[in-house]
Each structure stands twice: as C-alpha cells, then as structure tokens.
Amino acid sequence: MGLVNKSIDCDFKINKIKEKEIDGVYFYKSGKVFMGGKVSRIKNLDEIPSPYLTGLLDKFFEKNLIPIIETNRGCPYQCTFCCQGFSSFHQMHFFSMERVKSELEYISKHVKNTHILNLADSNFGIVERDMEIAKFISELNKRTGYPHVVSCNLAKNQPKIYELSKILNTLIVVSTDRKFKPTSTSKL
Ligand code: SF4
C-alpha cells in the first residue's frame, strides 16, 4: 500500500515517487539501490476491499479476459526460484469463506466473454476448506453454467487433491506455467 499511496500522492510521476525510500520497496536510482523499511504482511485478508464486490473490475467483464481470484496467500514450500519461497511467505493467510463465495457468485453473474475461472492460489487443495470451495464452484457451474473450466495450481504431495479433482471432475485444468492444459475436450 505504501507504493500505491505514494504513487497517488506523486501523481504517478516516477522521479517524484523515487525522491526517497518507500517501505516495502527496493528501487534503483543514480547507480544506487534504495531500500525501504520492512512491511508486515496483512493477516486478515478481508481488510483488503474486494475489487470485484466494489465494482472496480466491472469494465473488464466487457473484454476478452479471464477472471482471477485468490482464496489465500502464502506458501509453505521453499522453492528457491520463487518469490513465494521466502520464509516471510510461509505462513498462509485466508480470505473468509463468505468473501470467496461472494466473489465467485459476483463473477458468475457478470462474466460475459469466457467460461474460464483462474484460481491464483499457490496450492489449491492444500487445506480442507478448499474442498468446500471446489464443491461451491461445481454447484455454481451446475446452477449458472460458469465456470466451465477452472485453471489452478494444485497443492504438491497432497492426497486431498485426488478428492478435489473428483469434485471438480472435468472442470479442472492444472496450470503450472500459466499455459492451459485441458483435461477434457470441453468447449472453452
Ligand atoms: S510451491 Fe509454487 S508458490 Fe510455493 S514456493 Fe514453490 S513455486 Fe513458489
């Protein structure tokens, strides 16, 4: 938020934004790296206003874009090539179930140009409540026809993902590199 607020205050003028350090941000200027102070992660994710439920993303439903949501943030794994492998990201924090379901409902009512939903979670299926989310998505598909395809990054080494795949059945597409790999020949 520090960078967003600073950018707004500086009217998005990059030289002004870079006048001094910003907490949570590293930047390069005149051959030097400037480091702001540490910023704590947000634990109660519902503090972040929903860009869907506030209507901020409504105009993007007019375009040929795929809606994307997060149900949690953080990853317990430590892949060295990944920014989420940092120890500061190990603790997982969650959006409330009510918020997740409301966003999914909202998207299903407003979506126009795609049948795809992208779940941005690093490890969908890593926690028990993901089964409830999968059931909700499956029920939403039966009730509204959306989503027809769910692209997600599944949890690693988790027996639960077998159950999750059964719930989502042909809806699920595993995206490991942001390229889609359909598991069925269903119309996208
Ligand atoms: S499991 Fe995925 S998100 Fe987590 S650290 Fe590894 S690459 Fe990053």
The answer for residues whose C-beta is within 8 angstroms of residue 184's C-beta and 6 or more apart is 170
Helix axes 129-144, 97-110, angle to 10 degrees: 20
pLDDT of residue 182: 43
Per the CB < 8 A criterion, the answer to whether 11 and 32 are in contact is: no
pLDDT of residue 180: 41
The verdict on the CB of residue 122 being under 6 Å from ligand 1 is yes
pLDDT of residue 2: 79
The answer for residues whose C-beta is within 8 angstroms of residue 158's C-beta and 6 or more apart is 123, 125, 126
The verdict on the CB of residue 84 being under 6 Å from ligand 1 is yes
pLDDT of residue 175: 61
The verdict on the CB of residue 175 being under 6 Å from ligand 1 is no
CA distances from 169 to 10, 47, 68, 130, 186 (A): 49, 33, 20, 15, 12
Q: Tell me the per-residue pLDDT of 9-28, one tens digit each, with 9 for 90 and over.
A: 999 999 999 988 989 899 99
Q: Which atom of ligand 1 is nearest to the CA of 75?
A: 4
pLDDT of residue 187: 38
CA distance 108 to 39: 35
Domains and CATH numbers, the chain: 1-39 (no CATH), 42-175 (3.30.750.210)
Q: Is the pLDDT of residue 107 over 60?
A: yes
Q: Which atom of ligand 1 is nearest to the CA of 83?
A: 8
The verdict on the CB of residue 120 being under 6 Å from ligand 1 is no
Dist. CA 143 → ligand 1 center (Å): 33
